[in-house]
Structure 1
Amino acid sequence: MVGAFHGHAHNWKCQLDWHPMYIQGTGHTEGEGCEHIFSALNDLARGTCHASWFHRHQAIKEHFAFWNENKYEALTRFIRNHYKEAWEAVRTLSAELRIIKTTLQVTDEDFIRFHAEERAYFVSLKQPRAQDQLQRRYVEALDELEECKLQWNTAHEATNHSFTSIPIGDLITFSKTLTQACVRLDTTYLMLQNAQALAGQLQAQIGLEQPWKVDGEEYLQFKQDVLMGKYYCVLDELECLVVMRLFELSNLNMLGTGN
């Protein structure tokens, strides 16, 4: 089981298998017992990080001794409160569930089937063909190559113009400018060579006799796939962050406060 607090950071297929919301018998268990202990230790860390070895161990021992006594003392109240909470949830949610089942014309078996079908759908998803992945990577390599060509041309032009403003006879400035220009040219040329080598290697793996032209038909086709793939990745990250934020606000009883 993945803790409820961290579960929404996992992909949806993982949540269907391991999130406590989908595991029968977990009830309101959040699976974040360690996080509660770590949270209580935060205040203790402020003092122990500057304490001696003896006082550090003494403080930690006393902290957990008090922790155990405090939890044991509050155990009956904890069980009673959670029992009342669970009973109230069963009472109210059962009534709501009956209305939903009547409205949608579904049964308890349908919910189990929906969950199984959703899991089967994600299991059935496959990675794109290796050839398609190579072609998409080839498009990215062509974009990198064009960017390196632009940087190389910019560095070349900047080098030509950098010497025009140097006064005649100023050898120190000339030497310094020459060194900087050489470093910039060498760096951009090395990047250009690496980009050309990568594009050529991918071209050979794909089996192309001629390289694709930027803005050509094949390039534009897979360029769209690359952009959509990046777009979907951004959407997944955004959804993950939003759900995690909502879950944090829910735990803090701050939903609807505008935070």
Structure 2
Amino acid sequence: MEQDQMQRGLLPPEGKFSFGYDLGCKVERTVVKSLMFSLTECQKLLMLISILHGHAHQHLCQLTFLLIYVIGAGMENLKQYEWYFSKLNMLGGVMQYMSMFHHCQAIVHYAAHTDKYETYANLSKFIYTNYQSALNTLAGLGKMMEALQALGITNIEICSQWLKNEQCFLEERKDLSQPMMAEREYLSKLKALVDCQ
């Protein structure tokens, strides 16, 4: 990969390429074991999980993959693909008895129709709402800085340090949860045994 980039005169990526997915943590482990790992490592792939989905994950996973804890990741909800494929699933009933050729043809026509009449039509709305969101964020920045100063936080880097401290704390206790689960299971089985007698 790096040789190909050098031959083409391409510079290595400056930042990270992030990809948001509901199970980003599990997908990253799969990618590490796959043949694509060298490519993803070179391109600095960073898997993310969306804000709403993050609460179903363990805390250690959230610190690494949750969108709000990754500096520079933005505020997107990472659900665009889900919406698209959810709409695409509606073709299932229509295509049920079609041949493979007509399946492919229906999907291609649906995608072209969506691009022509929905995607491009909604592009201006997407740009406008993101622009408004950025303006609102910038407008609230002064109040945010005042609130941080009132709390005695003068350097924003302390937030990164808090995340590192939390990660160390959780990693130290990662192995402690298994014995506690075994104890709970033992007590519930013991109670069930007593109830049976």
Q: TM-score range by the shorter chain?
A: 0.5 to 0.7
* 2:132 equivalent in structure 1: 84
What does residue range 233-248 of structure 1 map to in structure 2 within 5 Å? none
* 1:71 equivalent in structure 2: 119
* 1:119 equivalent in structure 2: 167
Q: Which amino acid aligns with 1:17?
A: T
Provide the C-alpha distance between the structure 2 equivalents of 1:113 and 1:91, rounded to a whole number of angstroms.
26
* 1:144 equivalent in structure 2: 192
C-alpha spacing 1:34/1:130, structure 2 compared with 1 (3 Å): closer
CA-based RMSD of the aligned residues comes to 2.9
Deviation at 1:106, TM superposition (A): 0.9
Mark the structure with the bigger radius of gyration. Answer: 1
Please report the TM-score for the alignment, with normalisation by the length of structure 2. Answer: 0.61
- Give the one of 42, 55, 59 matched to 1:12: 59
Q: Which amino acid aligns with 1:44?
A: L
C-alpha spacing 1:43/1:87, structure 2 compared with 1 (3 Å): same
* 1:33 equivalent in structure 2: 80
* 2:151 equivalent in structure 1: 104
Tell me which of the two structures has the higher relative contact order, counting C-alpha pairs closer than 8 angstroms and 6 or more residues apart.
1
- Bigger strand fraction: 2
* 1:46 equivalent in structure 2: 93
* 1:243 equivalent in structure 2: none
Q: Which amino acid aligns with 2:147?
A: I
- Bigger helix fraction: 1
- Give the one of 55, 58, 61 matched to 2:105: 58
Provide the C-alpha distance between the structure 1 equivalents of 2:151 and 2:92, rounded to a whole number of angstroms.
53
Q: Secondary structure at the match of 1:101?
A: helix
Gaps of 5+ in 2: 1-47
Gaps of 5+ in 1: 150-259
Provide the C-alpha distance between the structure 2 equivalents of 1:52 and 1:45, rounded to a whole number of angstroms.
13
Provide the C-alpha distance between the structure 2 equivalents of 1:129 and 1:41, rounded to a whole number of angstroms.
42
Calculate percent identity across the aligned residue pairs. 27
Q: Secondary structure at the match of 1:25?
A: coil
C-alpha spacing 1:86/1:135, structure 2 compared with 1 (3 Å): closer
